[in-house]
Amino acid sequence: MTTSRSDAPSPYSDDLTDVSAVAYGFDPDAYGLPSERELAAFAAGYFPEFYPERSAKTGDVYRPTVVPSDSSDAGRVAPRETDVEPGRSLPSIGGTPLEKIRSDFPALSLQVNGKPLVWLDNAATTQRPQQVIDRISHYYSNENSNVHRGAHTLAARSTDAFEGARSKVAKFIGAPGDKNIVFVRGATEGLNLVANAYVKPLLQSGDEIILTQLEHHANIVPWQMIAEETGAVLRVAPVDEDGQIILSEYARLFNKRTRFVSITHVSNAIGTIAPVQEMISIAHGFGVRVCVDGAQSISHMPVNVYALDADFFVFSGHKIFGPNGIGALYGKEDVLESARPWQGGGNMIADVTFERTIYHRAPQKFEAGTGNIADAVGLGAAIDYVSAIGMENIALYERALLEYGISALGRIPGLTMVGRAADRASAISFVLDCQDNESVGRYLNDAGIAVRTGHHCAQPILRRLGYEGTVRPSIAFYNTYDEIDLLARKVSELAR
């Protein structure tokens, strides 16, 4: 027998009576709202001086859970015990103990080459919390069905879970509504969709598309492909010696033939945070639309597409502690409606005859066939997870950890930082004298430390700075100062 959320025990109290349900005649959980007990628990975590009776129960403050859409409690995840390794005590992130966060990620307890895993390859992919893993398992066990049009219970459950995830994405990035969110396989597919469904029909020979030297290959190759087909020209905004966009040079690229701009928010190779709000404003001043590649920003800082005034924004679920093979494309309503369908098939049609087809409006017109339903639901769970901690809190912690890492590695003789932008996120790229990058990566792997070596699918920016490849550790909010110390110590051993 399934227990409803309103009947489930609170993680914060043994008292099963919800004051709000008694006093006001409704269950806040039924509307996706926190109960009085939950609000009190969150308040106790942030303001323990006002809740002395809870001050001794620090373990009761944090319980990120993911509740399935059918309102059962089957998706609740019990907190797991964790052993804190010797060293400096772990901090809290916005009142959430870091050891609690780390205990939610099964991969962080792995041993690699007989050593504890130190996962510093977060720019390539992030690890997943147990809550996300369990939410996907719950979907397949209790909700699995195709979405929309089904007249049975599982179809309704699956549709609610899928569309609920769309709502979570919209809210998380500040989109006006659910209809602005298209599910895609990831940022790469989102960029290809924008290029082919919206931009390509606008292009004539000699028209121009603006990119920057910071771009990942996924934000270069699709534009090259449609440029080859249409005769359009790519123009590239330069960076300075530190890897920072030269805004004045970017502005000079605009002219009457400029048709579109596609820019990264954060460089995956060197961590530069691009001044996207200013760049969007400049483009809009010329009447030009802009797509932002948010693959590397989405997990490291708050994102509000409405405040940025982005026309399109793409990101991948696996970069924000969610599943592989799922991501989201945000588009303003007018650009999504004017874009043509990209793929044809079921789900994206309203009516079909052999003479003509009538398409659904966005977002469904871009979601042909059976989508990646379970992983969309998993992405929603990942968003729940980071939202419970707070993106502002995550950004503050990561900023301090990144600065610590830059300082620790910067003191190593023979180590050269690649990219020195004042505003950076997550990634630290470097090369080491007399050591090839792959040898450094293997040496670190022997110590249990996972970093990325090579060109990081961003050859133009590395070549602009004079390199064919680098060693790239990249942090996430579950990384620790002790892990950075270990990284610096092992790199120092190679530098001797």
This prediction's pTM = 0.83
The closest of 135, 154, 136 to 144, measured between CA atoms, is 154
- What is the token pair recorded at 322? 């969610």
Instruction: Return the bridge partners of 133, or none.
Output: none
The burial of 280, by beta-carbon neighbours within 10 Å (0-12 exposed, 13-18 middle, 19 or more buried), is given as buried
d(CA 231, CA 205): 4
Q: Is 291 considered catalytic here?
A: no
d(CA 426, CA 401): 9
Residue type, 476: A
Structure confidence at residue 50 (pLDDT): 47
Instruction: Return the bridge partners of 272, or none.
Output: 424
Beta strands in 1-103 (DSSP E): 92-93, 96-97
Structure confidence at residue 74 (pLDDT): 32
- What is the token pair recorded at 23? 């006093």
- What is the token pair recorded at 186? 């990831």
* Residue at token pair 């390794």: 85
> Within the chain, which residues score under 50 in pLDDT?
1-34, 37-38, 41-42, 44-63, 65-86
Structure confidence at residue 36 (pLDDT): 56
Structure confidence at residue 90 (pLDDT): 85
Given 202, 457, 494, 495, the catalytic residue: 457
Crossing angle (nearest 10°) for helices 153-172 and 373-389: 40
- What is the token pair recorded at 380? 């929603």
The closest of 323, 324, 396, 294 to 129, measured between CA atoms, is 323
CB-based contact 98:478 (threshold 8 Å): yes
